[in-house]
């Protein structure tokens, strides 16, 4: 048994493209040398799907995450936006939950991380989620980005 991460890019018309994990990491670590001109200047919906493998074959979906990648005019990932969104998500998950507010007169709520994180997430329709699952499990084919 093992696990595999499958990354998919979803265009505005819901066309789904598979992005090889190593290419995605190259784009994150050296964006100047790795670009996707087809997505230049766009905000692209992205899905990461973790698949459990049995005998090296996809068996079931373990986890799905949906986020937005922003590409510059040349098709490079905007690492600034991506980094801010990922940091904001991490901050939200690690923020302590306080049941009691020691300063009851406080009227200002720090919500900037929440807004930044929400700008980097999306929720697929049930039909698109089903297609992404089928692609991740190898039940459908799609193009490669």
CA distance 92 to 47: 20
Please state the domain count of the chain: 1
Whole-number pLDDT of residue 122: 86
58 occurs within a structural domain: yes
- The pLDDT of residue 81 is 76
What pLDDT does residue 87 have?
A: 66
Q: Is 90 a member of any domain?
A: no
CA separation for the pair 111, 118 (Å, rounded) = 11
Establish if 49 belongs to a structural domain: yes
pTM of the full structure = 0.77
Residue 44 covered by a domain:
yes
Question: What are 71-120's pLDDT values in tens digits?
Answer: 999 999 988 877 776 666 566 556 655 444 555 555 444 555 454 445 56
Q: Which of 10, 13, 87 is nearest to 46 (CA)?
A: 10
Least confident of 25-34, 37-46, 57-66, 89-98: 89-98
Q: Is residue 94 one of the residues assigned to a domain?
A: no
Q: Which structural domain, as residue segments, surrounds residue 46?
A: 2-78+121-144
The reply to whether 111 falls in a domain is: no
| Average predicted confidence (pLDDT) for the chain | 83
DSSP codes joined into one string, 89-136: HHHHHHSPP-SS-S-TT------HHHHHHHTTB----HHHHHHHHHHH
92: in domain: no
Which residues does 88 contact at the CB level (< 8 Å), separation at least 6?
112, 113, 114, 116, 117, 120
Q: 96 in a domain, yes or no?
A: no
How confident is residue 31, by pLDDT bands cut at 50, 70 and 90? Answer: confident
pLDDT of residue 121: 74
pLDDT at 32 over 90: no
């Amino acid at each position: 048994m093992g696990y595999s991460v499958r990354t998919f890019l979803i265009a505005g018309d819901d066309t789904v493209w598979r992005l090889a994990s190593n290419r995605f990491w190259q784009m994150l670590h050296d964006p100047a040398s790795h670009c996707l001109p087809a997505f230049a200047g766009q905000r692209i919906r992205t899905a990461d799907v973790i698949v459990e493998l049995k005998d090296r074959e996809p068996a079931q979906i373990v986890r799905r995450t949906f986020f937005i990648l922003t590409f510059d005019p040349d098709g490079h990932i905007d690492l600034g936006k991506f980094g801010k969104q990922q940091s904001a998500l991490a901050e939200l998950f690690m923020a302590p939950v306080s049941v009691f507010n020691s300063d009851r007169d406080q009227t200002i709520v720090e919500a900037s991380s929440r807004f930044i994180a929400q700008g980097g997430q999306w929720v697929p329709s049930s039909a698109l989620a089903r297609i992404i699952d089928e692609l991740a499990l190898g039940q459908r084919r799609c193009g490669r980005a």
